[in-house]
Amino acid sequence: MKRLVYIQLLLFVALSAYSQRALKYETCVMKDEVKTLRVRYADTTQPERPILTLGSDEQLEVSFDELTHDTRNYTYTLIHLNADNTQSSLTTSEYLSGFTTLDITDYVTSFNTQQLYTHYSFLFPNDDMLPMVSGNYALKIYEDGDPENVVAYVCFSIVEPLAGIDVNVRGNTDIELAGRYQQLDIDVSFKDMNIVNPTNDITLLVRQNGRTDNEVMNPKPTFVESNRLRYINQKQLIFEAGNEFRHFDIASQYFKGYNVDRITFDRNYYHAFLFPDEVRAESPYLTEYDANGQCVVHAEKVEDDDTEADYMWVHFLLPTANPWFTGGVYVSGDLTYNSFTADNRMQYDNEHKAYVLSLYLKQGGYDYQYLLLEKGKNKATTLPIEGSHWQTQNEYTVYVYYHPFGSRADRLIGVKKL
C-alpha cells in the first residue's frame, strides 16, 4: 500500500513538473479590473516592442491600471523561458542575481478622471533583481503575496549579440508572384563562436507585428556552412502579407479624433463610436502610415498621461450582410495583446447586420485589425476581412537561439528587427 502511494506521489510530481514546463507564457492580463498593461523602454513614450541587451543599462518600464482608488499589494517575480516560451529548467539562482520577488511600491491614483483608477509601475532590471543570462523571460505579477493569484504576465527578451543576421523580405514568393504573401530570406553568421552542430544547436524564430499565433519556429536551413546558416527559398518562411492596420484616436473626450464618428457620455462612462469599417478583402492596396499594431496612451491638455488620461468604451462595427465567417472574428493588435479570447471576440448583431465589439480603453491612439480564427486552427488569417497585399509594410523580428549539447536553456544570441 505504501509503495502504491509512493508511486502515485511520484507520478503526480512528474505530471505537475511536465505541466509547468509545457505552459506557454504570453503577455496577458488575468484580472478584469486591470487595464492598460504596457511594457516599453524606460524614459520614452515612443511605441516600440522592447528587447534588452544583456549587461547594458537598458530598462523596461512595466505599468498597468487597476480600476479603483483602493490600493493593492502586488509582487513580481522573474521566470526564464525557452525559445518557445515554455519555462526552462534553470533554477532562479542560475539566471537571477538579487531577490527572487519584489513588491511594486510605485503607484499613483488618477486625478480628475471620470473613471477612478490606480496606476502601478516599476522599472526592470533594477539593483535588486538582475537577470544574468540571455533568453526569453516572463515577469509574473501576483496579488497579496500569493503566487497563484496571478494578475498579469509580461513577456520580453534579453539578447547577447553574438550572431550576425541579414534579412530580406520579398513579394515574389515560392508560391505566388507579387500577390498576397511575403517571404523572408535569412542569413545567420557566427564569426566569433565555435558551434559544433549548428543545425541542432541553433533555433530560429520569426514573428510578424508581435503576433505569436503565426510565428515560425525552427525552419530548416537551406545551406549549412562552418560559421553560417542560410534560409533561402524556404516555404516555412512565407507569411500572409496582410494589410496596413486600421487606427483611431481617442485623445479627446470632447472632439472627434481620427476614425471616430461620435463621442457620448451617459453619466457614468464616455463612449467613442468608431465609423463602420469595411471588409477590405477585395479592395486594392492603399499605402497608409501605421505603427504595425502598436498603441500609445495620450490625452489632450493634461500634464501626466499615466494618471490624467480617462477611459472610454470604444465601439467597433464591422457590417456584413450575414455572419458568414466560419470561425471567430477578433479585434487584434497590441490593444488586445494579440490574443484570441472572449474579451476581444466580436459578436454578430442581427439588428445592425454587423459584427460588434466594445472595449474599455484608455485615451490615446490605437492600431487594430480584424483577424479570423477558423475552427480547429491555431493560426489566424487576414484574408477574408482585411485582405492581403505583398506591398504591406510589416514589422518582422528574427530571433536566433543557441542550445548546445548538454545545456539546459536557450541563449538568445541575436535579434534583428525589420
- As a whole number, mean pLDDT of residues 331-345 equals 97
Q: What is the pLDDT, as a whole number, of residue 10?
A: 40
Using alpha carbons, select from 335, 376, 385 the residue that is nearest to residue 358: 335
Predicted local confidence at residue 213, as pLDDT: 97
* Residue reference for cell 487584434: 332
Neighbours of 394 (CB within 10 A): 19
Q: Peptide bond before 125: cis, by omega within 30 degrees of 0?
A: yes
Q: What is the DSSP secondary structure assignment for residue 135, as one 8-state letter?
A: E
Measure the CA–CA gap between 94 and 273, rounded to whole angstroms. 51
pLDDT tens-digit readout, 288-333: 899 999 999 999 999 999 999 999 999 999 999 878 778 899 999 9
Give the pLDDT band of residue 2 (cuts 50, 70, 90): very low
Rounded to whole angstroms, how far apart are CA atoms 223 and 48? Answer: 33
Answer whether residue 21 shows pLDDT above 60.
no
Q: Give the start-end residues of each E strand in 110-196.
A: 118-124, 129-131, 135-143, 150-159, 164-170, 181-189
Pairing of strands 311-319, 270-274: parallel
pLDDT at 18 (0 to 100)? 40
The answer, yes or no, to whether residue 5 has pLDDT greater than 90, is no
132-136: average pLDDT: 97
Residue-wise pLDDT tens digits, 238-280: 999 999 999 999 999 999 999 999 999 998 999 999 999 999 9
Evaluate if residue 16 carries a pLDDT over 70.
Answer: no
* pLDDT reported for residue 6: 42
Sign (positive or negative) of CA dihedral 386, 388, 391, 392: positive
C-alpha cell at position 273:
463610436
Which of 11 and 67 is assigned the larger pLDDT? 67
Q: Which of 393, 368, 367, 371 is nearest to 384 (CA)?
A: 371
Please tell me the distance from the alpha carbon of residue 96 to that of residue 4, in angstroms, as a whole number.
Answer: 38
The owner of cell 543545425 is 199
Task: Report pLDDT for 164.
Answer: 96
**Per-residue model confidence as pLDDT tens digits over 206-230:** 999 999 999 999 999 999 988 899 9
CB neighbour list of residue 301: distance below 8 Å, 6 or more residues apart:
none
CA dist., res. 261 & res. 359, Å (int): 16
Picking from 13-17, 21-25, 142-146, which range would have the lowest pLDDT averaged per residue?
Answer: 13-17
Once rounded to an integer, what is the mean pLDDT over residues 12-39? 75
Whole-number Å distance between alpha carbons of 349 and 383: 22
Q: Which three cell numbers stand for residue 207?
A: 514573428
Grid coordinates given for 139: 515577469
Closest by alpha carbon to 362, among 43, 34, 59?
34
pLDDT at 60 over 80: yes
User: Mean pLDDT across the stretch 352-381?
Assistant: 96
Q: Rounded to whole angstroms, how far apart are CA atoms 385 and 268?
A: 34
Burial profile 29-60: b = 16 or more Cβ within 10 angstroms, e = fewer: bebeebbbbbbbbeeeeebebebbebeeeebb
Other Cβ atoms less than 10 A from the Cβ of 237: the count is 23
> C-alpha cell of 120?
502601478
Of the pLDDT bands very low, low, confident and very high (cuts 50, 70, 90), residue 22 is low
- The span from the CA of 285 to the CA of 278, in Å, is 14
Instruction: Give tens-digit pLDDT for 68-127.
Output: 999 999 999 999 999 999 999 999 999 999 999 999 999 999 999 999 999 999 999 999
Beta bridge partners of 63: 38, 121
Average pLDDT across the chain, whole number: 93
